[in-house]
């Protein structure tokens, strides 16, 4: 049985009762995957391409990954945190270099790397329109790596922006760990989590990744149930 290994951040990680009702995309992704494949989710809250490697998390994947497996690589949210040198990477410099390290880990072991652009946040400027967000240069950097290394890419960033604008500000709240401002009236903005996902959001955005894999065709489409 081949395995999908996942390297990523809190939008992907597997949660437990301590962070309930938060869910990550990697946590629910097995519902889209055929029975002959399994998902091993190594994503962790707050990690960037840099800190994930520095903590030895990529090394653990390297010990376990093998021929015919897949490595899904989904970062960006924490790479852009310039105030934190333990996580920050430059979008067209160290971010790209790190992504190529992940790709090489997969290919060295006969596995297939897949780049997945970061999930957009709920960065609404009005009810139906998103602002530019903070991911743009990291999306561009990842797309450059995909072209330079001939690696398939699933553009979750673009698909999630389209889904968020279609649902609208109110309609998309059910996907995220969004709390009504009335819960913490003294700090209304701090009570709103526009990044992390509930089960409904993990399923929604997971379905977009599944759709992207189907569109890639070949061995990537074969991972996903035909009904998707």
- First-to-last alpha carbon distance for the chain, in angstroms, is 21
What sign results for the dihedral spanned by CA atoms 22, 45, 168, 185? positive
Angle at 88 between CA 84 and CA 89, to 5 degrees: 165
Residues designated catalytic: 10, 189, 196
Taking alpha carbons only, the member of 73, 64, 67 closest to residue 26 is 73
Q: Helix or strand or coil: residue 122?
A: coil
Dist CA 3 CA 11 (whole Å): 20
Assess contact for 202 and 24: CB atoms under 8 A.
yes
Q: How many CB atoms lie within 10 A of CB 101?
A: 12
CA distance 212 to 63: 28
Q: Strand, helix or coil at 33?
A: strand
Q: How many residues does the chain have?
A: 228
What distance in Å separates the CA atoms of residue 72 and residue 187, rounded to the nearest whole number? 37
């Amino acid at each position: 049985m081949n395995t999908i290994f996942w390297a990523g951040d809190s939008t992907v990680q597997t949660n437990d009762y301590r962070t309930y009702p938060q869910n990550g995309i990697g946590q629910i992704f097995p519902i889209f995957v055929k029975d002959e494949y399994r998902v091993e989710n190594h994503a962790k809250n707050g990690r960037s391409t840099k800190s994930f490697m520095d903590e030895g998390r990529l090394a653990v994947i390297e010990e376990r990954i093998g021929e015919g497996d897949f490595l899904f690589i989904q970062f960006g949210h924490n790479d852009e945190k310039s105030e934190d040198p333990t996580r920050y990477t430059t979008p067209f410099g160290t971010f790209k270099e790190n992504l190529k390290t992940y790709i090489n880990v997969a290919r060295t072991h006969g596995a297939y790397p897949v780049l997945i652009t970061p999930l957009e946040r709920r960065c609404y400027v009005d009810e139906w329109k998103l602002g530019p967000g903070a991911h743009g240069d990291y999306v561009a950097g990842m797309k450059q790596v995909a072209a330079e290394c001939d690696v398939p890419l699933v553009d979750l960033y673009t698909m999630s922006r389209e889904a968020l604008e279609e649902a609208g500000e109110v309609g998309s709240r059910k996907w995220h760990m969004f709390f009504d401002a009335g819960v913490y009236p003294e700090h209304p903005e701090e009570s709103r989590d526009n990044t992390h996902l509930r089960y409904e959001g993990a399923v929604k955005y997971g379905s977009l990744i599944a759709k992207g894999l189907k569109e890639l065709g070949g061995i990537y489409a074969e991972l996903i149930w035909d009904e998707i």
